[in-house]
A and B are shown apart, each in its own frame.
Chain A
Amino acid sequence: MTTVYGLIDCNSFYCSCQRTFEPRLKRLPVVVLSNNDGCAIARTPEAKALGIKMGDAWHLVRGERKLAGVQWYSSNYPLYADMSRRVYQVLLDHVPRVEPYSIDEMFLDLTGLPGDLTERCETIRQQVEQITKIPTCIGWGPTKTIAKMANYIAKDRPEMEGLCDLTDARTRQRFFRNLPVGEVWGIGRRLLPRLNDAGIRTIEQFLQADTALIRQIMSITGVRLQAELRGESCLRLEEMAGQRQGLACTRSFGQPVTSYEDMREAISGFAARASEKLRAEKMDAGHVSVFIQTNPHKRADGWYANHAAMTCSPTNNALALIDLSTRLLRAIWKSGYRYAKGGVLLNDLAPAGRQASLFDVADQHSPDLMDAMDAINRRYGKEAIRPLSTGIQRSWRPRQGMLSPRYTTDIREVMEVRSF
């Protein structure tokens, strides 16, 4: 049976989530800021029309008069994660298999479904919008790469009314003649100049290019991309994320960290958080690294960045990982700098409880303490109890000046309605 894959994409996802619970935002320009209220990471069409670009630094543009009416929000990830879950579940009511590719994009397996696909996809869009209030676009075709392309067309051209069907080879040919090759999934800024140098500018030219040439420019991935764009499916639908290779907890600080004590607290906090994620996935780590850096855009204040790493006997214990991270920090710390960012990265992950090597001392920390801490935090909320080394004041905490309520995950913060 010929495969049909769809890709549904939520329009300005983070902004749309804010609009769900604040109907007054419906026609207003809305922007959601990155961690630490740094730069714009989601914009509604109204905000784009005012000239706000992806990545614009908020503190630089906020004073502009034409942006006075813009509604700014700190990113509210508990809300976005729950809304993404809702979208995913609505989709599963309509198609048998869904791949959550990113928080706001999902692949659909439309292979062999009865009835008219355009009608089905329109129903899906309406249902997602009614239930989550989030507008979407859907594109579909015989491969995931074509579905992604179709989605781009559906989103980019208002006359498509949010849907684009690229199952037909002649329709594809018509679009591919004029579409720049840079719009293809997986062809980034690094590859584009090299393709252009070889005279490849449109998708059609990419498809007509000699396989040997494509292999030379972008190895086997490029050859597979050619096949996918021709309609031969190489990438399958993955219903679950694969096992993770590494786990990171990094943050930009709300204000520069200058003292060792503050940095040690921050790094302890990252180690504690990373270990919590490990335990939630029943994994442990055999390799720890720590990095710290100053602001690369403010080199006038002096610039320093360094990292250190070590292997260890596999553990997921917060106290053990805090201890290791603090030792690593001590090795790279230099005073006299204004640090902007730091992080802890865990690698060599495997299911917890593996045999330590012959010469390792087995993890001496009892798991009971961690089990108790996790149970308390699950019941009474994040960080209800935590190691004291993670700090009390925590002046380096990220700025979240315009944080909206966690409307769907905390009963104290749900939407309020006035009785009429």
Chain B
Amino acid sequence: MTGYVGDKTTGFASPASDAIEGPIDLTEILDLRRPSRYPVRVRGRTFFSRGILDGDVLIADTAGQRASGQLVIASVSGQPILAELRLIKERWWLVSGDDSSSPILVDPALDVDIWACVTGVVREHP
């Protein structure tokens, strides 16, 4: 039998028939139907300290607001990277997760641009 969700029983009436809420829908929780949401996959582990590992799926939001300390997807000379956005002396910088590289100034004229803000992380096989 398909379509049974705990409500319509054949014998004794289900006392829960008015209380059906359905399974948890991660698409809804991560708001993936919103036009600005794009899943992307991380390669590398420099953001280990922020709990982001190689192979994780991040939920990127292209409508997000910039904020200092926020993780963002940026394009640097055409390459998409995951970086921390930081406001230093009224200018926006891309900062490495493990200080292995020096910060990069956000400036579309230098081909450095923010693509989206990171709003969530999904790990399939921890």
Contact = CB atoms under 8 A, between A and B. Distances in A.
A90 interface: yes
A39 B34 CA distance: 34
Contacts of B80: 23, 415-418
B43 to A, nearest CB: 5
B6 interface: no
Contact of A131 (B40, B62, B96): B62
Given A420-B83, A420-B97, A132 B41 contact: no
Interface string B60-80: 001100000000010111111
A26 B81 contact: no
A4 B100 CA distance: 56
A131 B63 contact: yes
Interface in B91-126: 94-97, 101, 104, 111, 113, 115
A90 B57 contact: no
A236 interface: no
A127 B40 CA distance: 21
A290 B42 CA distance: 47
A417 B54 CA distance: 10
Given A86-B35, A133-B62, A411-B57, A418 B40 contact: no
B38 A414 contact: yes
A414 B52 CA distance: 17
A90 B44 CA distance: 33
A408 interface: yes
Given A130-B63, A417-B58, A90 B38 contact: no
Interface centre among A22, A86, A419 (most CB of B within 10 A): A419
A407 interface: yes
Nearest to B47: A419
Nearest to B122: A411
Contacts of A408: 38-39
Size class of the contact patch on chain A: 20 to 34
Contacts of B17: none
B81 A420 contact: yes
Nearest to B40: A415
A419 B41 contact: no
B63 A418 contact: no
A24 interface: yes
A420 B46 contact: yes
A25 B101 CA distance: 25
Nearest to A28: B78
A127 B62 CA distance: 10
A89 interface: yes
B52 A416 contact: no
B35 A417 contact: no
Nearest to B81: A420
B36 interface: yes
Interface string A68-94: 000000000000000001110110000
Interface centre among B35, B47, B52, B111 (most CB of A within 10 A): B35
Interface centre among B38, B62, B63, B113 (most CB of A within 10 A): B38
A416 B35 contact: no
Interface string A387-419: 000000000000000000001100100111111
Contact of A417 (B73, B77, B104): B73
Contacts of B81: 417-420
A85 B39 CA distance: 16
Contacts of B78: 22-26
A415 B97 CA distance: 20
Interface string B78-89: 111111000000
Contacts of B76: 420
A26 B113 CA distance: 12
Interface string B24-56: 000000000011101111111111000010100
Contacts of A416: 40-43, 80
Nearest to A26: B78
Nearest to B44: A419
Interface of B: 34-36, 38-47, 52, 54, 57-58, 62-63, 73, 75-83, 94-97, 101, 104, 111, 113, 115
6 contacts: A407-B38, A408-B38, A411-B57, A416-B40, A417-B40, A420-B76
Report the 9 A-B pairs with minimum CB-CB distance, sorted nearest first.
Answer: A24-B78, A23-B75, A419-B44, A86-B35, A420-B83, A89-B35, A420-B81, A419-B82, A131-B36
Given A89-B35, A419-B45, 16 more contacts: A23-B79, A24-B75, A25-B78, A86-B36, A131-B35, A132-B35, A414-B39, A415-B38, A416-B42, A417-B73, A417-B80, A418-B43, A418-B82, A419-B82, A420-B96, A420-B97
